[in-house]
């Protein structure tokens, strides 16, 4: 890690859950080495996710569904023979099209240039982060000039600014309120509306859009790729996932709405199990103390300390999960059923002290409902339209790698797809 970190025992989490002395944004600045990678979490983006995106998920679902169908047809093979694909590469393109539609909207989101920049940006950010952290802090201001990834980050930002400039110009010259719903329900529009006057510059606005590729495209793609590896290694789950989707489609006459997605409970459980074993990061609930805190056991955390919860080890702990190393795709489905659906404790998007994949407390991921919709739709469409098989993997699931606490699926591994005959 680039900085010392206090790992919090699980028992302290409820106590600190809503503690305002723990700050997330400044932790992100440190974690992403923001002054070098130019990756910031800014209020207009946060507000747009929390207030606009989440409140409009039902409205934009038809567009998300349409785009998922378009993306799968555009990016995946149409052959009825087995074809290998590099999983992560393809997932980035499919999720890139779908998230891009929600971010900048059509027609920009489908252009090759935008899609390539949108995909490349987070790859450069994570790679730049890894490079800059190899240098001691004192040398980083100089080292940044010799790291090619940092140069490319700036180049992408400049080009994205040129591509999106007409969007901002048109917003300055006309009031677009209430006309074209498809154009208005985009992150680009919401972040514009949620920005202060001085933030409505092309540079600030376009940077916000491209930086959002980190959560909206990259993290979703990491999670979806892990799910695809788990599906390819365990095709025995595919019939149950297919049957569930087919019966939901039938009962709702093919109308994919939020209710339909809510009924994909086995798929939801499969996704959560995949996340339990391969979460986004070893740590979660990562925060920086805004003032000194003394923990109940007397541990003194000076102002500016970093703290985190051990998400990965909690997820692998047999105190909380029976047979924790075993992938059990219906584990959370059964747990939820046992609790008689009283509270949604074991859903993909549920967070708790033992389910930290989306964080915890005040700053738990506000984009998780959107992420769940995207991944669910992707896996439901994929299993509906394709057979999936592991390629050259043998008996071992592709191993994830860990860098700066982040957990990455193996970006070189392939799976095979074969379009189903109906």
Residue stretches of the annotated binding site for heme: 365
Q: How far is the CB of 133 from ligand HEM (least distance, A)?
A: 19
Q: How far is the CB of 360 from ligand HEM (least distance, A)?
A: 5
What's the Cα-to-Cα distance from 22 to each of 69, 298, 306, 336, 352, rounded to whole Å?
A: 41, 17, 9, 31, 18
Q: How far is the CB of 221 from ligand HEM (least distance, A)?
A: 9
Closer to ligand HEM by CB, 122 or 361: give it.
361
Closest CA to 113 of 163, 68, 173: 163
Measured in whole angstroms, the distance separating CA 298 from the mean position of its chain's CA atoms is: 36
Q: How far is the CB of 33 from ligand HEM (least distance, A)?
A: 17
Closer to ligand HEM by CB, 329 or 367: give it.
367
Closer to ligand HEM by CB, 5 or 249: give it.
5
- Could you list the residues known to form a binding site, using ranges: 365
Closest CA to 61 of 262, 242, 253: 262
Task: Give residue 393's region: left, alpha or beta (phi > 0; psi -120 to 50).
Answer: alpha
Inter-helix orientation angle 368-385/87-103, to 10°:
130
Alpha-carbon span 281 to 312, nearest angstrom: 7
Could you identify the residue written with the tokens 């719903």? 181
Closest CA to 350 of 340, 338, 337, 364: 364
Query: Rule CB under 6 A: which residues touch ligand HEM?
Result: 24, 41, 46, 49, 53, 215-216, 219-220, 223, 280, 284-286, 357-361, 363-368, 370-371
Q: How far is the CB of 128 from ligand HEM (least distance, A)?
A: 20
Alpha-carbon span 228 to 217, nearest angstrom: 16
Cα torsion 38, 121, 194, 204: sign:
positive
Q: How far is the CB of 13 from ligand HEM (least distance, A)?
A: 11
Closest CA to 305 of 318, 321, 287: 287
């Amino acid at each position: 890690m680039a900085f010392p970190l206090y790992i919090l025992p699980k028992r302290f989490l409820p106590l600190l859950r809503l503690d305002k002395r723990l700050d997330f944004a400044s932790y992100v600045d440190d974690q992403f080495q923001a002054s070098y990678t130019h990756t910031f979490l800014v209020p207009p983006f946060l507000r747009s996710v929390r207030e606009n995106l989440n409140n409009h998920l039902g409205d934009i679902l038809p567009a998300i569904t349409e785009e998922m169908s378009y993306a799968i047809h555009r990016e995946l093979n149409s052959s009825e023979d087995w074809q290998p694909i590099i999983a992560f590469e393809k997932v980035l393109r499919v999720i890139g099209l779908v998230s891009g539609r929600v971010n900048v909207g059509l027609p920009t989101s489908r252009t090759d240039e935008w899609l390539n920049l949108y995909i490349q940006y987070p790859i450069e950010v994570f790679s730049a982060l890894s490079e800059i952290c190899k240098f001691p802090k004192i040398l980083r201001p100089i080292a940044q000039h010799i790291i090619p990834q940092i140069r490319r980050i700036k180049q992408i930002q400049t080009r994205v600014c040129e591509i999106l400039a007409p969007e901002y110009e048109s917003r300055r010259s006309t009031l677009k309120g209430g006309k074209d719903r498809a154009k208005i329900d985009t992150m680009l529009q919401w972040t514009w509306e949620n920005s202060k006057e001085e933030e409505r510059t092309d540079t600030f606005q376009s940077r916000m859009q491209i930086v959002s590729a980190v959560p909206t495209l990259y993290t979703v793609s990491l999670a979806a790729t892990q799910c695809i590896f788990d599906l390819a290694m365990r095709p025995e789950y595919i019939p149950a996932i297919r049957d569930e989707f087919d019966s939901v489609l039938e009962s709702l006459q093919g109308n994919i709405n939020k209710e339909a997605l809510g009924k994909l409970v086995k798929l939801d459980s499969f996704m959560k199990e995949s996340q339990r074993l391969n979460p986004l990061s070893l740590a979660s609930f990562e925060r920086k103390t805004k003032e000194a805190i003394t923990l109940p056991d007397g541990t003194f955390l000076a102002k500016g300390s970093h703290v985190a919860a051990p998400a990965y080890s909690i997820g692998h702990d047999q105190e909380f999960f029976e047979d924790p190393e075993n992938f059990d795709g219906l584990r959370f489905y059964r747990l939820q059923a046992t609790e008689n659906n009283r509270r949604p404790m074991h859903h993909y998007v549920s967070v708790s002290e033992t389910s930290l994949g989306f964080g915890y407390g005040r700053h738990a991921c506000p984009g998780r409902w959107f992420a769940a919709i995207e991944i669910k739709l992707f896996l439901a469409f994929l299993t509906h339209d394709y057979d999936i098989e592991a390629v050259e993997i043998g008996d071992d699931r592709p191993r994830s790698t860990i860098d700066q606490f982040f957990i990455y699926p193996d970006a070189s591994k392939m799976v095979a797809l074969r379009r189903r005959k109906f």
